[in-house]
Amino acid sequence: MLEELLNQRKALLDNPSLPLALLRQQDRRLILWCEQYPDALAAQAWTALSEHWSKTLQLELATRLNVTNVVEELLVEGTAQTACWRLAAQFTEAALPGEFPDDAEAQVWVAMAMARRGRANALPAEWQAWLQVQGGGSHTEQSLRALLDALWQSRRDGWRAWFYPMMLNLPDAHHPGMINWLAGNVDSKALVEAMGMSGAERFRPWLQELAVQGDDHSEPAGQALQQSKNEREQIQARIRHWLPRWRLLEGAPWSLFGGYWQ
């Protein structure tokens, strides 16, 4: 039953037009099951789901239901470090793991978690600069490009995790420059995705044209147009809304009940 509930939840999150009400309904079922069968939080069903979101959900459920043995195991489990930092980045009261991780995506969550707790000055210089970009103020194209180059050099595998919060926290005037920089580093489908995530009106006519061409770019262009819509009840739009506001909110769109911020 647990595996079925988890797979149903994953299917909902994989649907870009997911209504929030369905996710909340599914999470109520999941919590009720785990309350009735707390041992399920340590079941093999979780290990079959290798995605980071499943570990984060497991930790969030165990914390919420006060299943301390599972929480303690996950906090020391090497493979769950990204999930632990991810939860700490989303909830101020979540426990902080220990060492600074090597994984590029995990480092993004570390930066968010430390900033959420007012401890950004303990981070490496490039992550402090990344947070400063998101904090407002003026930035030149040259300084932004230098930071992008530095992050890309060592963290290209997890580029979406740091690129999108950075772009969406900057004024729209900087988006074309960031997209142009990205064009030299990723394939065309990823570039189309980034244009949609930007939400900038200047990209919309081109995305609309691609969406009706009937080639390999049609589907990603259609998805990009969907991302740029302001449908707050849909998962993709909620992710785009969350990325520039993560410091002010508790939880994320993929958290239990979609977070606690609406």
Question: Where is average pLDDT lowest: 17-31, 96-110, 156-170?
Answer: 96-110
Residue 230, pLDDT above cutoff 60: no
Q: What is residue 262's predicted lDDT score, i.e. its pLDDT?
A: 40
- Which of the 8 DSSP states describes residue 28? H
For the chain, the farthest-separated pair of C-alpha atoms sits apart, in whole angstroms, at: 56
pLDDT average, residue stretch 210-230: 66
Higher pLDDT residue, 245 or 229? 245
Sequence-distant (6+) residues with CB within 8 A of 246 are 89, 90, 112, 165, 252
Residue 224, pLDDT above cutoff 80: no
Find the length of the chain: 262
| Whole-number percent of the chain with pLDDT over 70 | 85
Residue 207, pLDDT above cutoff 70: yes
Tokens of 121: 């000055």
Residue 31, pLDDT above cutoff 70: yes
Q: For residues 34 and 185, what is the distance between their CA atoms, to the nearest angstrom?
A: 44
| Whole-number percent of the chain with pLDDT over 90 | 22
What is this structure's pTM? 0.83
**Helices and strands (H, E) in the chain, number of each type:** 15, 0
Q: Specify whether the CB–CB gap between 83 and 110 falls below 8 A.
A: no
Question: Where is average pLDDT lowest: 34-38, 59-63, 137-141, 150-154?
Answer: 137-141
- Sequence spans of domains, the chain: 1-119
Mean confidence (pLDDT) of the chain: 82
Dihedral of CA atoms 174, 175, 178, 182 in degrees, nearest 10, equals -170
| Structure confidence by residue, pLDDT tens digits, 49-85 | 556 567 788 889 988 888 888 887 777 766 677 888 8
SS3 content of the chain, % helix, strand, coil (to 5): 70, 0, 25
Higher pLDDT residue, 206 or 125? 125
Phi-psi region of 67 (alpha: psi -120 to 50; beta: other; left: phi over 0): beta
Residue with token string 């004024």:
171
Residue 261, pLDDT above cutoff 50: no
Residue 184, pLDDT above cutoff 70: yes
pLDDT average, residue stretch 197-208: 77
Residue 109, pLDDT above cutoff 80: yes
pLDDT band at 130 (very low <50, low <70, confident <90, very high): very high
73: part of which helix (H) or strand (E)? helix 68-76
Q: What is residue 117's predicted lDDT score, i.e. its pLDDT?
A: 93
